Homo-oligomer: A and B are copies of this chain.
Amino acid sequence: MTYIYLDNSATTAPYPEVIRLTSAVMKEIYGNPSSMHSLGVAAEKTIAKARRRIASVIGVRDKEIIFTSGGTEANNLAIIGSARRNRNRGNHLITSQTEHPSVLNCCRQLEKEGFRVSYIPVDKKGVVNPETLGKLIGEETILVSIMHVNNEIGTIEPLTEIGNIVKERNRSTILHIDAVQSFTKVPVKFRQWQADLISFSSHKIHGPRGAGCLWIREGLLLEPVIYGGGQEKNLRSGTENTAAIAGFGLAAELSARANVENDGFLISLKLSFLEELKKSGLDFHINGPDPEVGAPHILNLAFPGLNAEVLLHSLEAKGLYVSAGSACHSKHPEPSHVLSAIGLDHKLLTGSLRFSFSGMNRTVEIKKAAIITADTASELYKMF
């Protein structure tokens, strides 16, 4: 069955070139990068090349990139690693209520370890107020962790303003940015943000699963989360996943290039989808930022009174794949913490779906997807 995949914020289809490269590396460069013989050296060089590729796409130095098993682990290393390392400097952390579970649950764990965490609210569009955040920063604030793009509703956080106020209030507060959803789609302006740590994931940019990285500003020290043979500068032990890392490097390059060459393509998909949906006269509501303001690839819509799960499965039956509830673990039945945080009405909360686009989508299928959505929602409105 042909289908239309609009769940790209959950995960993306790997590029064919990436699949070919990871297979080739598995077959030919299978040596342990720690081995002294040439099969080991070839693996080490493969990893070095991927590190250069990713560093170059971000615009940082390759020695500042630490590979992890994925975005979740990068967030763990950044947050838990900063907090445990800097316990002597203070015990206060700040994050927002709409962060990814891998950020929020690291913070909850740190609370158990005696840290104090401020979870700041967001406005109706999902935006953190830099002033509100600034007021919370004190002497003892060791870390601020704010995402670049929200994975459920696409809000782009005002990181330049946040960075300014963080560093103004406390020069030594570490600023961590979760850029898992934005990488290669919205520019990662690490200098302008005055960021210290940024998390990235491979499988959100058409790379293989099992790879991610943390950019660590030179000189910043972290406690590891995983201990062992001392790989990745002692920050992430375990035999390096050469094939996945190589695929991640290639995916970063291809994905960044695609988004430069097809500048405006993602937002054009979102806007055509919306236009088509509006034409149908369907009753729906846009959750979070205005379409032109939010990230180009994420659109969260509420269908008042409808049950999101029923709608999702009805769309699925027609070959359209989207997401309901929390983006990354949508089998949990709780209502989305992000939609709750933006104050969405219960009636809208339970009838919301996320449509997320990628460079692999085609304009023609987007229009078709909008028509399927309009028809299906209309049918359900009639039934209930």
A contacts, CB < 8 Å to B: 3, 5, 7, 10-14, 16, 19, 22-23, 26-27, 30-32, 34-40, 69-73, 75-76, 80, 100-102, 105-106, 108-109, 203, 208-211, 225-231, 237-244, 309, 312-313, 316, 321-324, 326, 328-332
- Is A36 in contact with B323, judged by CB distance below 8 angstroms? yes
A155 to B7, CA, bound (A): 49
Q: Which residues of B lie under 8 Å from residue A322 when comparing CB positions?
A: 37
Q: A7-B31, A72-B237, A239-B70 are in contact. Are A230 and B329 (CB under 8 A)?
A: yes
B contact residues around A203 at 8 Å (CB): 239
Q: How far is the CA of A374 from the CA of B182 in the complex (A)?
A: 57
With the chains together, A237 CA to B73 CA distance in Å?
8
Closest to A240 in B: B209
Closest B residue by C-beta to A18: B26
Q: Which residue of B lies closest to A309 (CB)?
A: B36
- A11 & B31 in contact (Cβ 8 Å cutoff): yes
Q: A35-B323, A73-B226 are in contact. Are A209 and B239 (CB under 8 A)?
A: yes
| Given A102-B229, A225-B226: A238 touches B36 (CB 8 Å cut-off) | no
Per the bound structure, the CA–CA distance linking A36 and B71 in Å amounts to: 21
Interchain residue pairs with CB less than 8 A apart (22): A10-B31, A10-B34, A11-B31, A11-B32, A13-B27, A14-B27, A14-B30, A31-B321, A34-B330, A36-B324, A36-B330, A37-B312, A38-B316, A39-B321, A70-B239, A72-B228, A101-B230, A105-B227, A106-B227, A109-B227, A225-B225, A226-B226
